[in-house]
């Protein structure tokens, strides 16, 4: 019999689309799958929907817990999983029927610890075309020596958000022991970059990683409305915590000094944090927004990253933005961001 795959689905506030997700996992061609629905204290009808699925299907189990966030939910799922292989699907997404068949086949063929595929961003608004995303890894299989050779560019290859490995846990199939040995390293307080800390630690322990080329079975459901809303005033603090945890993992593993790459990744996210403040803060007046931007640019961690980053493959526009942040040019950052996003969304609107 094929090894059992446990598919863990954290559930919260998705009553309208949960069925689409679960049905796509039930439709898998792989024959030995259990589905673990982790109700993370969802306030809607999701708990009842999960219980109904558990009653109707013997391979579905539901776990109810207090709300603790995404990481706590999938970690709880891992603790209850019976499978030798672990997969993850977020409850507002869905997967193609042969996803786990192909990932498990690649894992077995290469005797790897992680198998991965690409994903498709499917937009809630049908006017926006789907967009594919994959790894920057060039080979279909990396043994331990290949992985070590990849360490110098694993988290940042010198470009903006230059992650060589695509960090999403949902596009991957893991051997169970690889996940279990790292559970304590995955901090439940991290709410930006949850997948990055998870995949980073797992990759450093992997004996081999394989990728199914030109294959995009995971459908990430993207609501365009969230791109113009969702201002998060705590974003900078969240990415500072992510940086701290990534450095902790790097130090704990001790296989390579990833701190310069982690700094580069943090700076990329800090640039996005400034843009988030400028574009999405619709509550505060201009003066307050500029004050917030100035404070973010002056932040000691941000200034350290601005001074010491090693990104040498960034374009002129990013270099200019980094220069403006380094010198506290809040109003210049404001103007550039407003102009860019105004044109960006105008182009998107014409595609409808």
Summarize pLDDT for 113-136 with one digit per residue, the tens. Answer: 999 999 998 877 676 777 888 878
Q: How far apart are CA 115 and CA 103, in angstroms?
A: 6
Unique residue bearing structure tokens 């450095």:
247
| Res 227: pLDDT | 42
Residue 224 has a pLDDT of 53
All residue ranges of the chain with pLDDT < 70 are 125, 127, 224-229, 344-352
| Rounded (10°) CA dihedral 225, 231, 236, 240 | -50
Task: Tell me the C-alpha distance between 239 and 245, whole Å.
Answer: 10
CA distance 323 to 137: 31
Q: Is the dihedral of CA 94, 98, 101, 102 positive or negative?
A: negative
Which pairs from 197-201 meet CB under 8 Å and 24+ separation? 197/242, 197/245, 197/246, 197/249, 198/71, 198/169, 199/165, 199/167, 199/168, 199/169, 199/172, 200/154, 200/155, 200/167, 200/246, 200/249, 201/249, 201/253
Entry pTM: 0.93
Q: Which 3 state secondary structure label does DSSP give 224?
A: coil
Give Cβ neighbours of residue 265 (< 8 Å, ≥ 6 apart): 155, 156, 161, 163, 196, 243, 246
Which stretches does DSSP call E strand in the chain? 5-11, 33-40, 60-65, 85-88, 94-95, 114-116, 119-123, 131-133, 141-143, 172-175, 208-211, 218-222
What does the alpha-carbon distance between residue 236 and residue 277 come to, in Å, rounded to a whole number?
10
* pLDDT score for 127: 66
Identify the residue whose tokens are 């630690």: 201
CA angle 245, 246, 247 (to 5 degrees): 90
What are the two backbone dihedrals, phi and then psi, of residue 141, each rounded to the nearest 5 degrees? Answer: -145, 135
Q: How far apart are CA 120 and CA 221, in angstroms?
A: 8
How many residues can be counted in the chain?
A: 352
Which secondary structure element, helix H or strand E, spans residue 103, and what is its range?
helix 99-110
330 three-class SS = helix
Are 107 and 115 spatial neighbours (Cβ–Cβ below 8 Å)? yes
Query: In this predicted structure, what is the pLDDT of residue 62?
Result: 98
How many angstroms separate the CA atoms of 324 and 224, rounded? 29
Across-strand partners of 132? 120
Q: Which two tokens stand for residue 29?
A: 């061609």
């Amino acid at each position: 019999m094929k090894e059992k795959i446990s598919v863990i689905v954290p559930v919260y506030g998705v009553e309208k689309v949960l069925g689409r997700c679960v049905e796509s996992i039930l439709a898998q061609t792989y024959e030995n799958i259990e589905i673990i629905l982790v109700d993370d204290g969802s306030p809607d009808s999701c708990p009842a929907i999960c219980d109904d699925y558990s009653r109707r299907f013997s391979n579905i189990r539901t776990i109810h817990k207090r709300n603790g966030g995404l990481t706590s939910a999938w970690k709880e799922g891992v603790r209850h999983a019976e499978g030798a292989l672990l997969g993850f699907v977020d409850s507002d997404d869905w997967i193609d029927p042969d996803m786990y068949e192909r990932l498990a086949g690649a894992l077995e063929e290469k005797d790897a610890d992680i198998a991965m595929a690409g994903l498709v961003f499917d937009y809630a608004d049908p006017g926006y075309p789907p967009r594919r995303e994959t790894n920057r890894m060039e080979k279909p299989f990396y043994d331990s020596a290949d992985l070590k050779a990849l360490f110098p560019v694993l988290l940042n290859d010198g470009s903006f958000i230059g992650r060589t490995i695509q960090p999403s846990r949902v596009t991957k199939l893991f051997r169970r022991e690889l996940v279990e040995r790292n559970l304590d390293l995955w901090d439940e307080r991290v709410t930006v970059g949850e997948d990055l800390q998870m995949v980073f630690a797992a990759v450093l322990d992997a004996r081999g990683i394989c990728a199914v080329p030109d294959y995009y079975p995971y459908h990430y459901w993207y609501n365009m409305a969230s791109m113009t809303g969702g201002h998060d005033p705590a974003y900078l603090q969240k990415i500072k915590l992510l940086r701290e945890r990534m450095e902790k993992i790097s130090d704990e593993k001790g296989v390579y000094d990833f701190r310069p790459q982690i700094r580069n990744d943090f700076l990329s996210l800090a640039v996005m944090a400034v843009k988030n403040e400028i574009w999405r803060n619709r509550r505060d007046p201009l003066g307050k927004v500029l004050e917030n931007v100035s404070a973010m640019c002056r932040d000691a961690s941000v200034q350290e990253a601005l001074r010491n980053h090693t990104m040498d493959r960034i374009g002129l526009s990013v270099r200019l933005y980094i220069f403006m942040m380094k010198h506290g040019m809040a109003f210049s950052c404001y103007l550039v961001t407003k102009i860019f996003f105004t044109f960006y969304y105008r182009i998107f609107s014409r595609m409808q």
